[in-house]
Structure 1
């Protein structure tokens, strides 16, 4: 009886929380990935980034697309909303044709990449594109932003973390990160010290297919059997969570290093995606 009541409470709370838009990694998660990326930019990429956003850091730029969700303009409320996730059903492959009419994270990443490569694009358009590129790459490393397509990326999967009702998506966006009680700069420094030269070499892959494949694999390991979560769940998945934040930072840098390298338009990392679980 008590178990059934607990489940009903979780479902109700999860439904209420799911009514709010998901913010991949949350503000601190995105700042962490941006801070790690900034430390790994090539000199050429760093110069191009500074030309576009000046003294704004990648940690600041990384949160901008989520910050703009508060803008009531239809562009932010409807058009740009699906650009933070992709859908890859269990056992299926990513298909751009399955994206909403407005596109998804992959189609948006391709469009913003083209803007940054377009000599005729305005500085303002390129500035917007850069911020979205940094943000979207972070999104694609959050395993629940490569969703199954049946629970809105874990938003419809209620859980309780240390008896606090939430949902699985929110837990991975921010709950597990905030549990460490570190500022984003402290967390980024903590993770950066653990990134070895071998890691940088292994993770410097600018191909979105690689990132999504990894997220799909991890996604299938993080759905709990018991919705009541605490220390054991956090301990079990801490390494994977920190790993995705570290990889996202290195991949943002890798992508921008590719993007701003001579001849980048001729060697695009975007290919026909054939991601399957």
Structure 2
């Protein structure tokens, strides 16, 4: 099963979904599901709860919905990583722990844990280790989205931007909430008529454009005799610039 879920993990890291509240997680998983192979999609649907009606996106916010429930309070530290102030780097052994110092309790630790649960279940179906693979899938889908929200991997001193007060238009809030919810809420209202499906379709078109650009550049590069590392680097910079232009025009 883990082989089938690799495309899911890769596609969950899609650019341009700049905020990860409920709408952001829904959009990420909705787009990701479109990129799954038939076998991967079948495996995912087998694990989804009946209430999801075979739609991964419908359960991608579940870990946020239950994190304050008494039985799931243990999961709250798994949504983020706090790094030492101004270190501007992440080290698993140093940083992956909860506020009590318990190791492996952070978002990257959770991603590893739930990936391994799915992998072990696939490798040995007769194993005595019994995991809740439905929850493993829902946690994994959510946490891969979380780890790509910049302020879910932030400084300890400002609590990932939660203690930084800002104004978003006329509303007083904190920086983390802006990234988690308000950017996408504003974009939905201003550019997509408050229709999430319209925004998702626009992102999918942009992804197709960028994929075509990368493919074209690769083909051109392969046809250039003597292309060196500097040219490859310059080409990569140009493509990244185009990526930013194409994907961030709505913000």
* The one of 104, 107, 111 aligned to 1:105: 107
Residue 31 of structure 1 contacts residue 184 of structure 1 at CA under 8 Å; is this kept in 2? no
Moved beyond 4 Å, runs of 4+: none
- Change in Cα spacing, 1:114 to 1:156, as seen in structure 2 (3 Å) is same
The equivalent residue for 1:36 is 31
The equivalent residue for 2:90 is 94
TM-score, length basis structure 2: 0.65
Q: Within the alignment, does 1:189 sit opposite 2:166 as a pair?
A: no
Residue 160 of structure 2 contacts residue 176 of structure 2 at CA under 8 Å; is this kept in 1? yes
How many residues are matched? 181
Cα root mean square deviation, aligned: 2.6
* The one of 52, 62, 65 aligned to 2:63: 65
Q: Which has the higher contact order (CA 8 A, sep 6+)?
A: 1
In structure 2, the gaps of 5 or more residues are 1-18, 122-126, 215-244
Distance (Å, rounded) in 2 between the aligned partners of 1:179 and 1:200: 29
- Change in Cα spacing, 1:201 to 1:43, as seen in structure 2 (3 Å) is farther
The equivalent residue for 2:238 is none
- Report how far residue 175 of structure 1 moved: 0.4
- Change in Cα spacing, 1:200 to 1:167, as seen in structure 2 (3 Å) is farther
Distance (Å, rounded) in 2 between the aligned partners of 1:151 and 1:162: 22
TM-score, length basis structure 1: 0.59
In structure 1, the gaps of 5 or more residues are 1-23, 203-235, 243-277
- Change in Cα spacing, 1:154 to 1:199, as seen in structure 2 (3 Å) is farther
